[in-house]
Amino acid sequence: MIPFRPPTPPPRLQEGYRLLLDPWPDPRALNHLLAAAGDAPRTPERWQRALERSLWHLGVEDPQGHLVGFVRATSDLALNANLWDLSTDPAEPTRDQVMLALVQASLARLRRELSGCSVSLSAPPGSLKALERQGFIVDPGGIRAMGLWL
């Protein structure tokens, strides 16, 4: 399979920052991160279900061990993959770098594990630059996604 665009080298996080593969973050840390990014908090039980039903999830910790970035993926393991809860802490000085690291690591993992899947995501406005640099197109051809909060 020929990739849509050549993969770019992964960004280097600043010294002391760590990309975590399949972390099991504390629900309070996830809620703190999502609330800082303008999203609604969830109960620990809801986080438990979301993480258990996710294919995988990635996080970024700062040098003090605080969660400063997060994303999780779901898929039907055939045609579609979805990225959820893509968030970075707005107060984080390396926010753009953390967002780019999460996006690139997510796409690399999807290419490796589920090549050929279409990828969709719902993302905050602050992530658009990083997503566009990776080839995402906002509402291609006027197609818009819809979501339903249950």
The CATH superfamily holding the domain 18-134 is Gcn5-related N-acetyltransferase (GNAT) (3.40.630.30)
- For the entire predicted model, the pTM comes to 0.83
Which parts of the chain have pLDDT scores under 50? 1-4
Q: Where are the beta strands (DSSP E) in the chain?
A: 18-21, 56-61, 67-75, 80-88, 118-121
Whole-angstrom distance, CA of residue 107 vs CA of residue 131: 10
Give the residue extent of every domain in the chain: 18-134
Burial class (CB in 10 A: 0-12, 13-18, 19+), 138: exposed
